[in-house]
Amino acid sequence: MIHPVKVYDPSGKLKKVISQKVLNKRSDELCLNPTLLSKQTKGRKKKPQTM
pLDDT, position 31: 85
pLDDT digits (tens, 9 = 90+) for 7-51: 999 999 999 999 999 999 988 888 888 777 777 777 777 777 776
Tell me, rounded to whole angstroms, the distance of Cα 36 from its chain centroid. 8
If we measure between CA atoms, which residue out of 45, 48, 29 comes closest to residue 37? 29
pLDDT, position 51: 66
**Residue 29 belongs to a domain:** yes
Contact (Cβ atoms closer than 8 angstroms) between residue 49 and residue 27: no
pLDDT, position 21: 93
Containing domain of residue 20, as a range?
Answer: 5-34
**Residue 28 belongs to a domain:** yes
| Tally of domains within the chain | 1
pLDDT, position 47: 75
